[in-house]
């Protein structure tokens, strides 16, 4: 596609349920980032994938959060046993980092509401 695509756009789930959020990066982009943005807040780093390197998971807030990137393309962020404080917009971004960082393009985000 022309840009970073995330699905679903909106997700309402009950507390305690598991959710999966999907990110389709721009074709050929080696770097993929996940961020969380609570209402009116900043971009909280969650996890970073760069090529075949081990992902940087240092931003994951708890062991309920995990992410994978299959075949160096699509990524899935999984939140287990969701809590109300997990409610936020989850943003994915990708960039081409051949040699050095370049512009990161963001998806439209998934708005997660835990009720």
Partner 1 sequence: GENVEQHPSTLSVQEGDSAVIKCTYSDSASNYFPWYKQELGKRPQLIIDIRSNVGEKKDQRIAVTLNKTAKHFSLHITETQPEDSAVYFCAANYGGSQGNLIFGKGTKLSVKP
Query: Which residues here bind partner 1, judged by CB under 8 A?
Result: 31, 33, 35, 41-43, 45, 48, 50, 56, 58, 91, 93, 97, 99-101, 103-109
75 CB-near residues (< 8 Å, 6+ apart): 22, 23, 25, 32, 34, 49, 67, 68, 69, 92
Helix (H/G/I), strand (E/B), else coil: 84: helix
Q: How far apart are CA 106 and CA 93, in angstroms?
A: 4
Closest separation in Å from C-beta 96 to partner 1: 10
Closest separation in Å from C-beta 82 to partner 1: 23
> Between residues 82 and 107, which has the closer beta carbon with respect to partner 1?
107
> Between residues 25 and 107, which has the closer beta carbon with respect to partner 1?
107
């Amino acid at each position: 596609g022309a840009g970073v695509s995330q699905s679903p756009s909106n997700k309402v789930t009950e507390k305690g349920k598991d959710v999966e959020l999907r990110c389709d990066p721009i074709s050929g982009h080696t770097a993929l980032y996940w961020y969380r943005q609570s209402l009116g807040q900043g971009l909280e780093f969650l996890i970073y994938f760069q090529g075949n390197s081990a992902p940087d998971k240092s931003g994951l807030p708890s062991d309920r959060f995990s992410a994978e990137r299959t075949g160096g393309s699509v990524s899935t962020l999984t939140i287990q046993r969701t809590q109300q404080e997990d409610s936020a917009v989850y943003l994915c971004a990708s960039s081409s980092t051949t040699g050095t960082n370049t512009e990161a393009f963001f998806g439209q985000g998934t708005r997660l509401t835990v009720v």
